[in-house]
């Protein structure tokens, strides 16, 4: 689907057709729409293939008068009651007079631009559009990282009470999300540093402060992601040790109980063999002997911390 937007009187407004200085938003475009854009703007076909590849990492490509900037953005995926976080690429193609965004599905960051939530966007100022988009992406990473921190703290509290597999699996999903975030943020950082050099995308004096703000936000998100990942990895290791220790305790108790239960079995077996000459064959003696032996065995095992 193709949508056209332009800054009119300081606000992003939809327009019926493409014109110079407008922003073209492509969400899951079909082959016909892609071919029309390639023909109209002389864009390299590989640009669209890269932008719609879910596994594509952030980078910059330049061919003739067109530049492709791939940015990894964070997205939320819901699976039942569980919420997981992952990343998906968004392609920004800069042509001579237009900005084209390409994505495989709707995402909230693009929607914020189209709904005029982001202030200061000028569709005819391509570099500023890219930087504002990347700043919004970095802010969204920070927002989701704070959510992940709250979710992981809640799951840890639940795990202390129950030690259920569901909580462990949820922590594993959070750890996976943090790995995705960390990898994507580092790729985005490299892309921003390339933009800062001004060789691939033309930078203006007014953009210097903005590009520095973007880099600071991304570095902050990377640091926060690494901190959460290290804490979560340590927590997972600690809980794994606790679970293993609990299993060892249970096994020790079961082994001790088995030993205690086997004492009356052995004594009753001896007195049940009908062997002549065994002293004190009255019922009370083997029972008393079993209790005494079990008591002694219990004290020994207790001293050995088997209970």
Rounded mean pLDDT of the chain? Answer: 85
Please check whether residues 203 and 273 belong to one and the same domain.
no
CATH assignment of the domain containing 211:
3.30.460.20
Dihedral over alpha carbons 11, 12, 16, 19 (to 10 degrees): 90
Query: Does the structure show a pLDDT above 80 at 139?
Result: yes
Which pLDDT value is given to residue 307?
Answer: 65
DSSP 215: H
Which pLDDT value is given to residue 146?
Answer: 92
Give the integer Cα–Cα distance in Å for 32 and 36. Answer: 6
222, 244, 266 — which closes off a domain? Answer: 244
Which pLDDT value is given to residue 236?
Answer: 79
Query: Does the structure show a pLDDT above 70 at 225?
Result: yes
Residue 17 — φ and ψ, nearest 5°? -145, 170
Which pLDDT value is given to residue 8?
Answer: 87
Number of structural domains in the chain: 2
Please check whether residues 200 and 255 belong to one and the same domain.
no
Give the distance between the most distant pair of CA atoms in the chain: 114
- Which residue has 């950082």 as its token pair? 189
pTM of the model: 0.80
Q: Report residue 183 as tokens.
A: 């990898």
Which pLDDT value is given to residue 161?
Answer: 76
Query: Does the structure show a pLDDT above 80 at 82?
Result: no
Please check whether residues 296 and 163 belong to one and the same domain.
no
| Euclidean distance between the first and the last CA atom of the chain, given in angstroms as a whole number | 68
Query: Does the structure show a pLDDT above 80 at 195?
Result: yes
The alpha carbon of 15 is separated from its chain's Cα centroid by a whole number of angstroms, namely 37
Please check whether residues 119 and 208 belong to one and the same domain.
yes
Cα 165 to Cα 26, 83, 240, distances in angstroms: 41, 16, 11
Please check whether residues 99 and 129 belong to one and the same domain.
yes
Structural domain that includes position 85:
2-244
Please check whether residues 275 and 149 belong to one and the same domain.
no
SS (H, E, C) 217-263: HHHHHHHHHHHHHHHHHHHHHHHHHHHHHHHHHHHHHHHHHHHHHHH
Please check whether residues 270 and 123 belong to one and the same domain.
no
Q: Report residue 195 as tokens.
A: 């933009």
Pairing of β 2-8 and β 99-103: unpaired
Please check whether residues 57 and 138 belong to one and the same domain.
yes
- Answer yes or no: are the C-beta atoms of 70 and 90 closer than 8 Å: yes
Please check whether residues 217 and 104 belong to one and the same domain.
yes
- Which residue has 């982001």 as its token pair? 118
244, 276, 293 — which closes off a domain? Answer: 244
Portion of the chain with pLDDT greater than 70, in percent: 93
pLDDT in tens, 10-48: 888 888 888 888 889 998 888 888 888 888 888 888 888
- Which residue has 């209970």 as its token pair? 307
Please check whether residues 233 and 295 belong to one and the same domain.
no
Q: Which of 78-87, 96-105, 138-147, 273-282 has the lowest mean pLDDT?
A: 273-282
- Answer yes or no: are the C-beta atoms of 67 and 61 closer than 8 Å: yes
Please check whether residues 153 and 271 belong to one and the same domain.
no
Please check whether residues 41 and 144 belong to one and the same domain.
yes
Pairing of β 66-79 and β 59-63: antiparallel
Portion of the chain with pLDDT greater than 90, in percent: 21
Mean pLDDT of the 81-96 span: 87
């Amino acid at each position: 689907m193709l949508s056209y937007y332009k800054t009119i009187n300081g606000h992003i407004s939809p327009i019926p057709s493409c014109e110079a200085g407008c922003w073209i938003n492509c969400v899951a475009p079909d082959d016909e729409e892609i071919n029309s854009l390639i023909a109209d703007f002389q864009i390299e076909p590989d640009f669209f293939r890269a932008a719609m590849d879910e596994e594509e990492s952030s980078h910059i490509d330049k061919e003739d008068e067109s530049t492709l900037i791939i940015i990894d953005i964070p997205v939320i995926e819901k699976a039942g009651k569980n919420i997981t976080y992952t990343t998906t690429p968004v392609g920004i193609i800069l042509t001579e007079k237009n900005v084209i965004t390409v994505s495989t599905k709707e995402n909230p960051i693009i929607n914020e631009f189209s709904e005029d939530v982001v202030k200061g966007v000028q569709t005819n100022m391509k570099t500023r559009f890219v930087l504002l988009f990347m700043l919004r992406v970095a802010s969204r990473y920070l927002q989701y990282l704070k959510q992940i921190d709250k979710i992981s703290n809640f799951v840890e509290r639940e795990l202390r009470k129950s030690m259920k597999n569901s909580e462990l699996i949820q922590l594993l999903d959070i750890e996976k999300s943090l790995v995705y975030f960390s990898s994507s943020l580092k790729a985005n950082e490299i892309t921003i540093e390339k933009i800062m050099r001004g060789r691939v995308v033309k930078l203006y004096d007014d953009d210097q402060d903005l590009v520095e703000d973007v880099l600071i936000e991304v570095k902050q998100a990377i640091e926060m992601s690494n901190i959460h990942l290290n804490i979560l990895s340590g927590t997972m290791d600690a809980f794994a040790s606790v679970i293993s220790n609990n299993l060892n305790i249970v096994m020790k108790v079961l082994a001790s109980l088995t030993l205690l239960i086997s004492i009356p079995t052995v004594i009753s077996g001896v007195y049940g063999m009908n062997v002549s000459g065994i002293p004190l064959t009255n019922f009370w003696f083997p029972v008393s002997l079993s209790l005494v032996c079990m008591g002694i065995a219990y004290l020994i095992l207790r001293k050995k911390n088997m209970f």
